[in-house]
């Protein structure tokens, strides 16, 4: 194999592909360069077909620490499990390349992409997609199409193709489109938070404008994919001779099932739950086997299963295309019934049980401080980063009636959680300086569980009294297309997802889209159909948002919700809140049972506590310390006695309100000659007490009792 190198400069990317220089024993490999970034992609295939009728494709995107001149942190000094970014990138590559494989391809394939040199200005997801695509296209696997990926951002009012990471950080749009030729195969989109009024983001994207941007991107993808096809041609290997599973079924068996069991199959389809439908179809299969056996006909269980599945699929699709009818009796544009309960968990900061048809998500919100943020690293960043808004999605087997062990979250769970985060995050206040964790427990699933997570998450945030610019809803759309006819389905259930041609998820507020995800199962999508899908998605979102708005009006605050106060003081007064050697702030924390976070530069003060009354008292106390003009404190004479009142008893002493209204500390060691173990046995709050001033240093007054002085 002769080494071959090609340089391609398209859509603001300058890429170099080197073939037949590395990983020569793989089915296909490439060394990819962009800037200082170097990636190695390799494809391998097991030439023995699996028995199941599906494509067992595994994609692994891996970042090596040495690529950024780093040594892995922690006790183990080597890479361990993949991070979230690696997992999500692997999913994007899988979703983009899977449609390229021919129908009936059932061979195990692995695609590995390894980052061996990083660049702080290179988009690693675009680089990984293109490297994986090149390795697959030149391999001996019979894939004859090339994809291209384009990310779209904004710089000011201008649309920019493949912006640098620095440009992405200031962009209001993050749109990733993958396609082959004129076919759009995958879309991921989100809006990015920007400063608006009161720190809110207000950059939802209009649906029509989004389609226009995708149309521009599709033209760029068409040019790129054709260029790749031409440029990679000299490196393409001789394809393997592989047997594809024949899509041709036993026509006589198909006709007999259609004639004999049409009614039974129709009844099975009417069972909306996956577990129920599966059970009914198994019963029909058993009946078919018994009927054929009684006739003395040869029985092949696998053939019968495939023919029955194909007949069921054709019935579902024919109902939709020809009769405009769905299995559960809904119209094509109809959303399933919705019910909402908020703050049903008494010990949780905010919660929502969101049910749509047979999909149910229990979503909770927990509020924390800055220290509760998730630390993570990116190979394109020198320092660790913090994620203070987290969305975690859990999908137990019982939600679809399966007896399955619950383990660590898989790629699907991470992907759905990430989609929920991308949809909800743009509505959060950018000035929020704590941490928020949203957890979605899927209790029942029949399609659109990730969208239920978004709806429930938006209401759970409201239930936890988190300020958001607007409620966000999510909806899953489907498509059935055959012989020039197509039907767009609103709020698809599991059956329609399985037997349809598109999985299209849209999330947004009443003003526009905040996140979008689309995968085509076969071929691409026409932009006219995409525009119509977005229009119908908008209708569905408005319907859901109306119901959510009514539910939001009836939210009753959770008793578990901590009280938090944010306010500003003059930055010069922060030192007064802290006090000498931190004495004043420690007194505030002990006396009012609050946590205090201070921003020295801006003069920000954040108080948090379980008791709202005490938090309010702490705020008033701090404002009294920092107010201008401040209350004049008495000049006490050292050694003189004064009458005071016990304000609060703590383990280390007693806070005494002096005649001028200021509080001073009578330390436990200054109460008596001997050590006092329980001050509550000697004093009660409100008691009048005579104290002697030992020292006054500014506002700090040190006290003792006459008993101690004697």
Q: Are 310 and 253 in contact (CB under 8 A)?
A: no
Residue 148 domain flag: yes
Among 607, 630, 653, which residue terminates a domain?
630
The answer to whether residues 229 and 257 belong to one domain is no
Q: Are 420 and 394 in contact (CB under 8 A)?
A: no
Query: What CA–CA distance (Å, rounded) separates 223 from 379?
Result: 30
> Out of 53-67, 263-277, 650-664, which region has the weakest mean confidence (pLDDT)?
263-277
| CATH number (domain holding residue 201) | 3.30.230.70
- The pLDDT, as a whole number, for residue 633 is 62
The answer to whether residues 599 and 646 belong to one domain is no
The answer to whether residues 349 and 365 belong to one domain is yes
Angle at 397 between CA 393 and CA 402, to 5 degrees: 160
- DSSP, collapsed to helix, strand or coil, labels residue 109 as strand
Q: Are 648 and 683 in contact (CB under 8 A)?
A: no
Mean pLDDT of 193-205: 60
- The pLDDT, as a whole number, for residue 630 is 47
The proportion of the chain whose per-residue pLDDT surpasses 90, expressed as a percent, equals 50
The answer to whether residues 97 and 9 belong to one domain is yes
- What is the number of structural domains in the chain? 5
The answer to whether residues 362 and 227 belong to one domain is no
Q: Are 458 and 424 in contact (CB under 8 A)?
A: yes
Picking from 437, 460, 432, 428, the residue whose alpha carbon sits closest to that of residue 558 is 460
Which of 427-431, 467-471, 648-652 tops mean pLDDT? 467-471
Q: Are 151 and 144 in contact (CB under 8 A)?
A: no
Residue 304 domain flag: yes
The answer to whether residues 22 and 145 belong to one domain is yes
For the chain, state the CA radius of gyration.
Answer: 32
- The pLDDT, as a whole number, for residue 362 is 98
> Out of 144-148, 244-248, 600-604, which region has the weakest mean confidence (pLDDT)?
244-248
- Provide the 10 A C-beta neighbour count for residue 539: 12
Q: Are 460 and 365 in contact (CB under 8 A)?
A: yes
> Out of 49-63, 345-359, 446-460, which region has the weakest mean confidence (pLDDT)?
49-63
Mean pLDDT of 164-182: 91
The proportion of the chain whose per-residue pLDDT surpasses 70, expressed as a percent, equals 95
The answer to whether residues 430 and 569 belong to one domain is no
Among 581, 608, 630, which residue terminates a domain?
630
Helices vs. strands in the chain: H and E counts, helices first:
16, 29
Q: What is the DSSP letter of 133?
A: H
pLDDT tier, 245 (very low <50, low <70, confident <90, very high otherwise): confident
- List pLDDT tens digits, range 4-52: 999 999 999 999 999 999 999 999 999 999 999 999 999 999 999 887 7
- List pLDDT tens digits, range 372-415: 889 888 888 878 888 999 999 999 999 988 888 988 889 999 99
The answer to whether residues 586 and 642 belong to one domain is no
Mean pLDDT of 317-335: 90
- Provide the 10 A C-beta neighbour count for residue 596: 18
The answer to whether residues 549 and 603 belong to one domain is no
The answer to whether residues 346 and 310 belong to one domain is no
Residue 241 domain flag: no
Is the pLDDT at 459 greater than 70? The verdict is yes
Question: DSSP for 490-508?
Answer: ES--HHHHHHSSEEEEEEE
Burial class of 549 by CB neighbour count within 10 A (0 to 12, 13 to 18, 19+): middle
pLDDT tier, 208 (very low <50, low <70, confident <90, very high otherwise): confident
Burial class of 463 by CB neighbour count within 10 A (0 to 12, 13 to 18, 19+): buried
Residue 329 domain flag: no
Query: What CA–CA distance (Å, rounded) separates 390 from 151?
Result: 24
| CATH number (domain holding residue 643) | 2.40.50.140
The answer to whether residues 342 and 483 belong to one domain is yes
Encoded tokens for 199: 């720190």
Give the structural domain span for 262. 251-323
Among 630, 646, 679, which residue terminates a domain?
630
The answer to whether residues 455 and 474 belong to one domain is yes
| CATH number (domain holding residue 624) | 3.30.1370.10
Q: Give Cα 425 distance to the centre of its chain.
A: 9
Q: Are 2 and 233 in contact (CB under 8 A)?
A: no
Backbone angles phi, psi at 217, to 5 degrees: -65, -40
Could you tell me the sign of the dihedral formed by the alpha carbons of 403, 406, 412, 415, in that order? positive
Residue 242 domain flag: no
> Out of 67-81, 181-195, 289-303, which region has the weakest mean confidence (pLDDT)?
289-303
Residue 245 domain flag: no
- The pLDDT, as a whole number, for residue 674 is 83
Is the pLDDT at 443 greater than 90? The verdict is yes
- The pLDDT, as a whole number, for residue 275 is 64
- List pLDDT tens digits, range 600-629: 888 889 888 888 888 888 998 898 888 744
- List pLDDT tens digits, range 176-195: 999 999 889 999 999 986 65
Distances (CA, A) of 362 to 5, 198, 421, 458: 53, 30, 16, 12
Encoded tokens for 605: 């003060």
Give the burial string for 561-571 (b: 16+ CB within 10 Å, else e). bbbbbbeebee
Distances (CA, A) of 31 to 3, 111, 146, 223: 11, 14, 17, 22
- The pLDDT, as a whole number, for residue 247 is 59
- List pLDDT tens digits, range 520-560: 876 778 888 999 999 999 999 999 999 999 999 999 988 88
- List pLDDT tens digits, range 655-704: 888 887 778 888 888 888 887 878 888 888 889 999 998 888 776 788 98
- List pLDDT tens digits, range 415-434: 999 999 999 999 998 777 78
Residue 333 domain flag: no
Residue 449 domain flag: yes
């Amino acid at each position: 194999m002769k080494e071959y190198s090609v340089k391609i400069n398209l859509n603001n990317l300058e890429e170099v592909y080197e073939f037949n220089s590395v990983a020569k024993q793989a089915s296909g490999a490439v060394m990819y360069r962009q800037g200082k970034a170097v990636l190695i992609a390799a494809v391998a295939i097991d030439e023995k077909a699996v028995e199941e009728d599906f494509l067992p494709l595994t994609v692994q995107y891996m970042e090596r620490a040495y690529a950024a001149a780093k040594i892995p942190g922690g006790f183990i000094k080597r890479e361990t499990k993949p991070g979230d970014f690696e997992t999500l990138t692997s999913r994007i590559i899988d979703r983009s390349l899977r449609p390229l494989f021919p129908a009936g391809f059932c061979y195990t394939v692995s695609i590995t992409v390894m980052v061996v040199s990083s660049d702080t200005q290179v988009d690693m997801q675009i680089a990984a997609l293109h490297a994986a695509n090149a390795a697959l296209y030149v391999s001996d696997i019979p894939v004859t199409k090339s994809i291209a990926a384009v990310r779209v951002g904004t710089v000011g009012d201008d649309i920019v193709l493949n912006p640098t990471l620095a440009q992405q950080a200031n962009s209001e749009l993050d749109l990733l489109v993958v396609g082959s030729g004129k076919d759009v195969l995958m879309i991921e989109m989100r809006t990015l938070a920007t400063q608006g009024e009161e720190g809110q983001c207000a950059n939802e994207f209009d649906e029509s404008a989004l389609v226009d941007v995708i149309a521009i991107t599709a033209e760029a993808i068409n040019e790129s994919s054709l260029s790749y096809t031409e440029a990679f041609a000299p490196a393409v290997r001789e394809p393997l001779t592989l047997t594809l599973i024949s899509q041709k079924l036993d026509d006589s068996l198909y006709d007999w099932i259609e004639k004999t069991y049409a009614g039974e199959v129709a009844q099975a389809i009417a069972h909306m739950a996956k577990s129920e439908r599966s059970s009914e179809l198994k019963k029909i299969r058993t009946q078919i086997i018994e009927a054929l056996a009684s006739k003395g006909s040869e029985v092949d269980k696998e053939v019968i299963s495939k023919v029955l599945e194909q007949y069921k699929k054709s019935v579902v699709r024919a109902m939709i295309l020809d009769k405009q009818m769905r299995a559960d009796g809904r119209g094509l544009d109809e959303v399933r019934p919705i019910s909402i309960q908020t703050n049903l968990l008494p010990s949780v900061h905010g919660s929502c049980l969101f049910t749509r048809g047979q999909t149910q998500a229990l979503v909770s919100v927990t509020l924390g401080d800055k220290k509760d943020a998730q630390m993570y690293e990116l190979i394109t960043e020198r320092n660790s980063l913090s994620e203070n808004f987290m969305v975690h999605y859990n999908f137990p087997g019982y939600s679809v009636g399966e007896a399955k062990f619950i383990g660590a979250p898989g790629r699907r769970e991470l992907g759905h959680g990430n989609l929920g985060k991308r949809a909800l995050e743009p509505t959060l206040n950018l000035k929020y300086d704590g941490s928020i964790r949203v957890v979605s427990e899927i209790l029942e699933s029949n399609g659109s569980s990730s969208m239920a997570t978004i709806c429930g998450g938006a209401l759970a945030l409201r239930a936890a009294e988190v300020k958001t610019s607007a409620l966000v809803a999510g909806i899953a759309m489907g498509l059935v297309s055959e012989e020039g006819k197509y039907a767009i389905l609103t709020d698809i259930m599991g059956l329609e997802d399985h037997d349809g041609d598109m999985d299209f998820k849209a999330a947004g507020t009443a003003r526009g889209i905040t996140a979008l995800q689309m995968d085509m199962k076969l071929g691409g999508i026409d932009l006219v159909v995409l525009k119509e899908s977005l229009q119908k998605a908008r209708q569905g979102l408005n319907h859901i948002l109306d119901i959510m708005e009514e539910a939001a009006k009836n939210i009753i605050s959770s008793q578990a919700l901590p009280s938090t106060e944010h306010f500003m003081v003059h930055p010069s007064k922060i030192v007064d809140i802290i006090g000498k050697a931190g004495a004043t702030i420690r007194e505030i924390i002990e006396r009012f049972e609050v946590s205090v976070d201070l921003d020295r530069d801006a003069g920000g003060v954040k108080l948090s506590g379980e008791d709202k009354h005490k938090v309010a008292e702490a705020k008033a106390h701090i404002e009294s310390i920092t107010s201008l003009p401040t209350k004049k404190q008495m000049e006490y004479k050292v050694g003189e006695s004064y009458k005071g009142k016990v304000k609060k008893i703590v383990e280390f002493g007693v806070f005494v309100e002096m005649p001028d209204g200021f509080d001073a500390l009578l330390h436990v060691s200054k109460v008596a000659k001997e050590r006092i173990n329980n001050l509550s046995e000697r004093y009660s709050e409100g008691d009048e007490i005579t104290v002697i001033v030992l020292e006054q240093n500014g506002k700090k007054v040190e006290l003792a009792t006459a008993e101690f002085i004697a």
